[in-house]
Structure 1
Amino acid sequence: MSNFDDEREANIARNKALLAQLDISMSNLGIPTPAEKAKSKAKPVQPAKRVKRERGTGTPLPARETRSSTRQKRPVINPNETPAQKKKREKEEEEARRKEEEERLEAEEREREAKRPRHQDLDLDTLGEELDDSQIATLRANFELVLKTVHPRREGDPDRFTFDDDGVDQEAEVVSDLRKRLGKMKVVARAKVCTDRIYSAAYHPEPTKDLIFFGDKHGQLGIWDARAPSDAVDDDHPKSKDTKEDGKYWRLQAHWPATSRSSISSVKFDPRDAHSVFTSAYDRTIRTLSFTSGISREIFSTSDERILIHSIDLPPTGNEMWISDSGGSLTHLDLREDKSKARYYGVSTQKVGSVSINPANPNFLLTASNNRFLRIWDARNLDLLKTLDDEENIQVIEDFLTKSEDGSSCLKSSWEHGKAINSAYWDPRGRSIVSTCYDDKLRFWDVDPSFMTRPSRFPTSRPKNDVSHDCQTGRWLTVFKAQWSPNPDVYPHITVGNMLHSLDIYSCKGELLASLSDPSRITAVQAVTCSHPSVVERAASGNGSGRCVLWAPVDS
């Protein structure tokens, strides 16, 4: 050692001897010893361990066995065993192998079953297996509040908001007033309601709450009470005001398995009272969640793995449902009958992305297909298509629909687009139509209600207006689908996402009423949109990561 080290050791020894002569220890001086330091050090509080449950069933998983050597598991063989003992040992080993094989096969079957769609009734505890008891209780309380009032879907008057040449000034005044009201909407709440990409959304009609339902890519139904009181903001961290989540939300695994095979393609409320919600998914099932009982029940399913359900719609009576799928079919389901009595109609050779029922004349269906045609069908005559079920010649089918007399009573109108059509919907009046197409256009039609009383085909017409709109969402974003505001008391208008991270609102004639954006708080495309059925200045949107936004006036 160096001279410095020698001198340091000597000083330590001299100090210890001096303290010993004075009978003074380190503890008397208030200096903890190394052992005392280790003993007094507090352990950090650990979060409570959550019980791991089997996905899809909610049952606790058994404790995982530790790995051990296979050689050590082998029984020790007695070299002096008799033939009788050997026979007994071999029999026991064979029995153990048979039992182990049965357990392995049972485990594999349970694993396969966990990956299949669930067809049984599911309660809230099973749907919200990641929610604790207090969250389930809060969700039930919200359901009970909604159940206090009946909210039937309101129909619009087909003749309302139709202005002749003498009413041009009145129409301009109505549009100007709506533009001012919509222009006041700002981002007032944000939250990551779902775990994955938002695929569909619906705004509950309860006027005293902002209760919005979102369906995501992995079969999760997110319920967001956007204006519910949230936790207090930490005063020491003012930035948390901009990063905190607003409101309260609950995530329910409505469809299974929790993969992209169960994406929720459509969310609809019961049009009679809004006391239950219907969801369709790529797992080839349709379920309804009752707010009264808290039970999710399957009402439709198909075993054809090539079919994906893309859209559902219900007439105002709520007794029927029309379903569109990737196989080019429409399915009629009477909710008062067993699902086995559903009727199938092949209306296209390619995917039918959406089906919409005319609210004023429920016999008329609107479909949008990948074959580039937007078509209006008379549901009363769709049985005529059964005669073509075995026909494979596409040209023969098209000639029947467009040229024959029987075809004209079935297919009432058809409009060809430049590319595949994402969606097409009737407005609340059953008069206007909006379509969203991959040729980067939004098209608006005005259909005279008198056409629907004629037995012949609708007169040939062109869109009232078409608006350039970037619809190239690509692979990682949900395709844009322009959605009508379901509020029949205001001038008809739509909401649609924009690749520039804004929410665009157009009138039924294609006039831009508002382009809502907030670059400081929104940095993603708001691909999925919906509006409140009775409050004008309310809209919601969701993006590709499961984050959702509520738009409303700041002082509301």
Structure 2
Amino acid sequence: MPSALELQRQENIARNKQLLEQLKLKRAVDDVIPVKAKPAKSQAKPVQSSRNKRPREETTEGPRRKSARLQHVIDPDESPSQRKEREAKLEEERAKEAEERLAAEEQARIAKRPRHEDLDLQQLLAEDEEAEDLPSVLQSVPRIKREVRDEDAMDSDDEEENVVSELREKLENLKVTENRVYSATYHPDVTKDLIFFGDKHGQLGIWLPKAPKEEVADEDGDVAPADQEGGKYYRLQCHWPATSKSSISCVKLDPMNSQSIYTSAYDCTIRRLSFESGISTEIFTTEDTLISSLDLTPTGQEMWISDSLGGVWHLDLRQDKSSAIRYALSDQKIGCISVNPTRSNFLLTASNDRSLKIWDIRKLSTLSLDLTPPTPPPSSPGSPFLAPVGRVNNEVDADVVNEFVQSTKGKGCLRGEWRHDKSVSSAYWDPRGRGIVSTSYDDTLRLWDIAPTSFEASGSFPSSRPFHRIRHNCQTGKWLTILRAQWSPNPDVYPHFTIGNMDHSLDIFSGKGELLARLSDPHRISAVQAVTCSHPSIVERVASGNASGRCVLWAPADEEEE
């Protein structure tokens, strides 16, 4: 019902209209009371989108189902026996199609699983047609034994200064080459440069920068001009599937036989590739725990492995892999593990719990004496068997380790510990087995120098404080490989280490923390050199690479010009 105000307004309008009509002012009436007219149709077209419309895909209509009788497949006059025979044949065809479909699906599932069987080079190079000469290349690699020396400090400060000056002069003359390399480990062969890398898709890359690049002619017989990338490189698909689920986390050469190389990957396996036989063999696997790092003792007979759940494994390579023992040393990921090269009883771990710890393996191994070895299940006698992670008979849990470390019997098991401000991404012993360098997300590199007498004592180290700290940007983010300070494995020179710089350079520091060289080339390098490694016996050889696999080799300029 209209309100009183609305009724009053309508009365006023009617009265004014009547008054104007009496005065014969029809036009004024229309102005006062406009007649509602239909809006005129606009002639303007709507604005069309500036984006190109995707053309409609033409879909071909599949065959429509038709009656088998209308297609004359079924004889309307067939006898009951003929009908029974026809239906049996159709059932057999359906069963065959279903079997083939299930087989194809099973093959697709198998293709996505890790491979545990032995693999030869032909299987590893199934998709690489340019690697026919790789077997001969690997077999020609000499068998080199790694040498370690426990040298004392320099006799005087002047002698140390001279050695450091000579080392700086050699390193400052290194120039970037124009080659392509994916790098993680440098082979000790002095007759040729041989570099290995592990990528994020489970491939082991092999690069020979000095090898002449093969000239391939096109269809017209013309040979393309030489580009900026030289040498030869090969790719071996050691871990499977070929996705980021098989990223190779660590690559190590056998210290006693450089014709064998070990790779660990996120497919929860460790494999050994023999250059002599060309066979890749699985030597260790876990149920579903990612393997983050590995290291070998100087004899090459034992291996220590760290995982993403805070455990370390001890594996005797002379025994079956089922004999591996796991020690739960942290409640968070242990991302790096390092065995002392001159005193193999001391183990170094770096964890996401912000701690760097030094363990005495002799004490730690006593915890596994009461463990019973795993036995094969009755259903498969004699077959290789690996007890799953967490099983009592091959694991020492965290409570047992903590109780032992705090007990009188376990005194000296944990020889040293240092807490960082953030996660410790890496920590390694130097070639002498006395110095340690750590890398942390708190943007600091720390250096330790432990006196030889401290190793001989039975208790904890007198002090675990680092003697030097270096401010270094380690904020790599999600898409860049974690920066790790890597010692040069050369035992004949003054200890020094390499690490990538976020400013697209390669930094080389002495064992005392002094910057020896900062290698860069803005004309050729436009990415962070996250991965670094050095030649085990030649000072003037350093390799670095970025997260996408584009890497460079640093060597004296005069050698590259020859």
| TM-score of the aligned structures, taking structure 2 as reference length | 0.79
CA distance in 2, matches of 1:399, 1:358: 23
| Structure 2 match to 1:315 | 297
User: Which aligned pairs between 1:1-150 and structure 2 lie closer than 5 A?
Assistant: 69=63, 71=65, 76-132=73-129, 135-147=130-142, 150=143
| Structure 2 match to 1:208 | 191
Structure 1 residues 458 and 554: alpha-carbon distance in aligned structure 2, compared to 1, 3 A threshold: same
CA distance in 1, matches of 2:225, 2:523: 14
Higher normalized contact order (CA 8 Å, seq sep 6+, divided by chain length): 1
- Say which of 230, 244, 256 aligns to 2:240: 256
1:409 counterpart SS class: coil
Cα deviation digits, residues 211-239 of structure 1 (max 9, x gap): 000000000011000121225799xx9x9
Q: Which runs of 5+ in 1 are unaligned?
A: 1-66, 194-199
Cα deviation digits, residues 237-281 of structure 1 (max 9, x gap): 9x976x531111001101110011111111111111201111111
User: Which aligned pairs between 1:348-497 and structure 2 lie closer than 5 A?
Assistant: 348-383=330-365, 400=403, 403-497=406-500
Letter paired with 1:276: S
How far did residue 139 of structure 1 move?
1.5
Answer yes or no: is the 8 Å Cα contact 1:400–1:406 preserved in 2.
no
1:462 counterpart SS class: coil
CA distance in 1, matches of 2:535, 2:303: 22
Structure 1 residues 244 and 189: alpha-carbon distance in aligned structure 2, compared to 1, 3 A threshold: closer
- Say which of 183, 203, 209 aligns to 1:226: 209
| Structure 2 match to 1:274 | 258
Answer yes or no: is the 8 Å Cα contact 2:327–2:396 preserved in 1.
no
Structure 1 residues 344 and 461: alpha-carbon distance in aligned structure 2, compared to 1, 3 A threshold: closer
- Say which of 548, 554, 557 aligns to 1:551: 554
CA distance in 2, matches of 1:493, 1:152: 21
Answer yes or no: is the 8 Å Cα contact 2:175–2:554 preserved in 1.
yes
CA distance in 1, matches of 2:474, 2:76: 79
The 10-residue stretch of structure 1 (167-176 or 414-423) with the greater mean CA deviation from structure 2: 167-176
Answer yes or no: is the 8 Å Cα contact 1:192–1:245 preserved in 2.
no
> Does residue 166 of structure 2 align to residue 177 of structure 1?
yes
CA distance in 2, matches of 1:347, 1:383: 13
How far did residue 315 of structure 1 move?
1.3
Q: Which has the higher helix share?
A: 1
1:408 counterpart SS class: coil
Letter paired with 1:368: A
How far did residue 69 of structure 1 move?
4.3
The 10-residue stretch of structure 1 (216-225 or 337-346) with the greater mean CA deviation from structure 2: 337-346
Cα deviation digits, residues 286-324 of structure 1 (max 9, x gap): 11111111111111111x22x111111111111111111
| Structure 2 match to 1:53 | none
CA distance in 2, matches of 1:72, 1:222: 57
CA distance in 1, matches of 2:216, 2:442: 46
CA distance in 2, matches of 1:233, 1:171: 51
CA distance in 2, matches of 1:518, 1:423: 27
Answer yes or no: is the 8 Å Cα contact 1:124–1:136 preserved in 2.
no
Structure 1 residues 499 and 397: alpha-carbon distance in aligned structure 2, compared to 1, 3 A threshold: farther
Answer yes or no: is the 8 Å Cα contact 2:328–2:397 preserved in 1.
no
| Structure 1 match to 2:6 | none
Answer yes or no: is the 8 Å Cα contact 2:213–2:230 preserved in 1.
yes
Answer yes or no: is the 8 Å Cα contact 1:538–1:550 preserved in 2.
yes
CA distance in 1, matches of 2:215, 2:91: 65
Structure 1 residues 540 and 70: alpha-carbon distance in aligned structure 2, compared to 1, 3 A threshold: farther
CA distance in 2, matches of 1:426, 1:318: 17
CA distance in 2, matches of 1:145, 1:221: 18
Letter paired with 1:208: T
1:175 counterpart SS class: helix
Structure 1 residues 229 and 340: alpha-carbon distance in aligned structure 2, compared to 1, 3 A threshold: same
CA distance in 1, matches of 2:457, 2:186: 35
Q: Which runs of 5+ in 2 are unaligned?
A: 1-60, 372-389
CA distance in 1, matches of 2:321, 2:397: 31
| Structure 2 match to 1:151 | 144
The 10-residue stretch of structure 1 (267-276 or 69-78) with the greater mean CA deviation from structure 2: 69-78
| Structure 2 match to 1:294 | 278
Answer yes or no: is the 8 Å Cα contact 2:168–2:516 preserved in 1.
yes
1:535 counterpart SS class: coil
Q: Percent identity?
A: 58
CA RMSD of aligned residues (A): 2.7
Letter paired with 1:377: W
> Does residue 315 of structure 2 align to residue 333 of structure 1?
yes
Structure 1 residues 233 and 355: alpha-carbon distance in aligned structure 2, compared to 1, 3 A threshold: same
Answer yes or no: is the 8 Å Cα contact 1:270–1:277 preserved in 2.
yes
Letter paired with 2:468: N
The 10-residue stretch of structure 1 (171-180 or 526-535) with the greater mean CA deviation from structure 2: 171-180
CA distance in 2, matches of 1:445, 1:279: 29
Answer yes or no: is the 8 Å Cα contact 2:328–2:396 preserved in 1.
no
Answer yes or no: is the 8 Å Cα contact 1:285–1:300 preserved in 2.
yes
How far did residue 87 of structure 1 move?
2.0
2:409 counterpart SS class: helix
CA distance in 1, matches of 2:417, 2:192: 40
Structure 1 residues 276 and 385: alpha-carbon distance in aligned structure 2, compared to 1, 3 A threshold: same
Cα deviation digits, residues 113-158 of structure 1 (max 9, x gap): 11111111111111111222xx4342122223213xx311110224
